[in-house]
């Protein structure tokens, strides 16, 4: 019975419980803010318009610059592309010279894994360049607002 119950608890109940707790915490936080705002409005006090802005990770995510997001895609593209290129190279070496090494080098998954990583890297490169071209005006406006020099 334990062999079935423990994986179900870990794989099903635990994630559901974590999501429920996080969403309940956010809901309680919003409800408390709403109560405070209603009391302030009833008393005729000034209401701060920034009171309901997200805090923590959500605020950081919203203030993430367009250019930084594009650079993150470029970094991911470089990492996955170079790892994929290495895997493909090892796969080709293994295909040309079957006696190459032993142990881990004997794996037959170098070429498929490298192909998948190269495809992901290529997709991220394409996403970067398309995003860079589409968002050029927004990036310029962002640079003007921040007072950053153009590259």
pTM of the predicted protein model: 0.52
Q: How many domains does the chain have?
A: 2
* Alpha-carbon span 50 to 57, nearest angstrom: 16
User: Is there a single domain that holds both residue 47 and residue 103?
Assistant: no
pLDDT per residue over 109-119, tens digit each? Answer: 888 889 999 99
Range of the domain at 75: 64-146
Model confidence at 104: pLDDT above 70: no
pLDDT of residue 118: 94
φ and ψ at 49, to 5 degrees? -70, -20
Phi-psi group of 133: left, alpha or beta (phi > 0 → left; psi -120 to 50 → alpha; rest → beta) = alpha
Torsion, CA 107, CA 109, CA 110, CA 112, rounded to 10: 170
Q: Residue range 28-57: average pLDDT? A: 78
pLDDT of residue 60: 52
Torsion, CA 23, CA 29, CA 30, CA 36, rounded to 10: 170
User: Is there a single domain that holds both residue 49 and residue 88?
Assistant: no
Q: Residue range 105-128: average pLDDT? A: 87
Is residue 151 one of the residues assigned to a domain?
A: no
């Amino acid at each position: 019975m334990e062999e079935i119950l423990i994986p179900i608890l870990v794989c099903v109940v635990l994630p559901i419980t974590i999501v429920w707790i996080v969403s309940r915490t956010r809901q309680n936080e919003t409800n408390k803010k709403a109560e405070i705002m209603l009391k302030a409005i009833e008393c005729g006090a000034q209401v701060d318009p920034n009171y309901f802005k997200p805090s923590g990770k959500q605020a950081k995510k919203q203030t993430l610059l367009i250019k930084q997001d594009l650079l993150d895609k470029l970094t991911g593209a470089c990492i996955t592309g170079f790892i994929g290129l290495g895997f493909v190279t090892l796969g080709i070496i293994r295909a040309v010279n079957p006696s190459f090494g032993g142990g881990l080098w004997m794996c037959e998954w170098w070429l498929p894994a490298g192909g998948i990583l190269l495809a992901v890297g290529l997709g991220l490169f394409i996403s970067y360049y398309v995003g860079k071209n589409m968002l050029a005006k927004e990036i310029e406006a962002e640079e003007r607002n921040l007072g950053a020099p153009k590259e």
